[in-house]
Amino acid sequence: MSTAEETYVAALDQGTTSSRTIIFDRAGRIVSVAQNEFPQLFPHPGWVEHDPKDILSSQLGSFTSAVVEAGIAPRQIAAIGITNQRETVVVWDRRTGEPVSNAIVWQCRRTADYIDELVRQGCSEMITSKTGLIPDAYFSASKIRWILENVAGAREAAERGDLLAGTVDCWLVWNLTGGAAHVTDMTNASRTMLYNIHTLSWDEELLELFGIPPQMLPQVVCSTGVVGVTDHPAIAGHIPIAGIAGDQQAALFGQCCFTPGSVKNTYGTGGFLLMNTGTTPVRSESGLLTTIAVGLPDEVRYALEGSVFVSGAAIQWLRDQLGIIDSAAQSEELARSVDSTEGVYVVPAFTGLGAPYWDPYARGAIYGLTRGTTRAHLVRATLESLAYQAYDVITTMQKDAGLALPTLKVDGGASANDFLLQFQADLLGCPVVRPKLVETTALGAAYLAGLAVGYWESLTEVEANWKVDRRFEPNPDEKRRQERIAGWHDAVSRTLIR
């Protein structure tokens, strides 16, 4: 049991399939964790929805459970930080708090045809120059428009000022503060396709293009700073809400990637790579996204972002679809049982290829099979594909930003695989570093909140908490490295349709 004098910071980690609360101490160590899953709704093919009330109740429930598990009182929480699934949108009535529809999730493709029409009309350059984003149904703008166009009475109510719209962080803050704060932070705003990342404001031309009344949208605030205090029956007391960041930006902050050129890769179901590019936004020439890394009180820092569509999902494919491994952990054992793939390459383009290829029509392929190919070779080639895809994105980032890569910091489920991380280091020719604490998304939100209330005094103090679990040094065999990369690029070129 903790004493009343001890204080902590809570991170609300609101994800696509579950809501978690993690409570951290001053050393950045986990005190307790609680997690609640909630239903995924698929009303039509390609549509993905969440009930906003499920999001809220699951998040509140996890907070209560985490506090109980920690054996502390709510008054011992110095601050709350929020990190969230990005791009998902909620529209609700400002008087009653009732959502007018289910939330439209970032994965939902219902507005793809509308986005295609905007591209045909020649809107791409205007959108990208203002937002740093490539026009896509992935982002929030067309989702809000769809609700206004398809929910009875929604547009009229929005024009009257009766409706509010926001990403999931905004929905949580509004409810946690009893409706007192309608805010979002810069990182989440930069994912809506409505926010001008240069002027740091909602863009009038984009609002007009998508037909979104500006009075619906939240005030945009820094990622660190008190935006309100809790005023909800499920939370005792008035706890400052003091940090907000989208999940991948929160992970970048949690990995202490504070200097230009620092990169993190989250090996999740997909792979999410972000490079800190400093205080100047960098326009990608290769289809990477330019986004806000963090909004600090004294400056805004930007990032380049690239996504690998299939990362850890390729290991799940080996287990669940092919049935050639029993567990993800077994993949490392099998990969190490052979000296190489014997020329086998797996291109896991199950849903197309992302940056730098951008071919949505490409499909997965295996190259180089012989009678001597075993399941161990196939498993090893699949693991190597995760590293090859990350290599392609990182080298593209370096070219766009003109920045060297001193080390790659990693997290996510597949970062537990030592074979993968050593192979990644060999490909990149630089060290790959795995921290002791890989819950970097929640930790980033906690740091942002704690800095705002003085729980941590500076970025230097935060960085002192970051501890290395293992550092993977690259193999100096440059000839072998180039041969592997050339073989991978040959395999990809055979896969591309465009």
Q: How confident is the model at residue 3 (pLDDT cuts 50, 70, 90)?
A: very low
Q: How confident is the model at residue 44 (pLDDT cuts 50, 70, 90)?
A: confident
What does the pLDDT read at residue 136? 86
d(CA 104, CA 139): 10
d(CA 303, CA 398): 12
What does the pLDDT read at residue 2? 45
Task: Please determine, for residue 421, whether its predicted confidence score (pLDDT) is greater than 60.
Answer: yes
**Chain segment 439-451, per-residue pLDDT in tens:** 899 999 999 999 9
What does the pLDDT read at residue 311? 84
**Chain segment 225-266, per-residue pLDDT in tens:** 999 999 998 888 899 999 999 999 999 999 999 999 899 999
Whether 172 and 84 have beta carbons less than 8 Å apart is answered as yes
**Chain segment 80-139, per-residue pLDDT in tens:** 999 998 999 999 999 999 999 999 988 888 898 898 899 999 999 999 999 999 888 889
Give ∠ CA 374-379-381 in degrees, rounded to 5: 95
Q: How confident is the model at residue 433 (pLDDT cuts 50, 70, 90)?
A: very high
Mean per-residue pLDDT, 470-476:
93
What does the pLDDT read at residue 476? 83
What does the pLDDT read at residue 1? 39
d(CA 279, CA 299): 7
d(CA 25, CA 455): 10
The residue behind tokens 């080996």 is 318
Average pLDDT over the chain reads: 92
d(CA 495, CA 127): 30
Q: 237 vs 495, which has greater pLDDT?
A: 495
What does the pLDDT read at residue 13? 95
Q: How confident is the model at residue 17 (pLDDT cuts 50, 70, 90)?
A: confident
User: Residue 179 CA to chain centroid, in angstroms?
Assistant: 27
Task: Please determine, for residue 4, whether its predicted confidence score (pLDDT) is greater than 70.
Answer: no
Task: Please determine, for residue 498, whether its predicted confidence score (pLDDT) is greater than 70.
Answer: no
Please, what's the b/e burial string for 363-392 (b: 16 or more CB within 10 A of its CB; e: otherwise)? ebebbbeeeebeebbbbbbbbbbbbbbbbb
Cβ neighbours of residue 208 under 8 Å, at least 6 residues apart?
none
Mean per-residue pLDDT, 414-428:
94
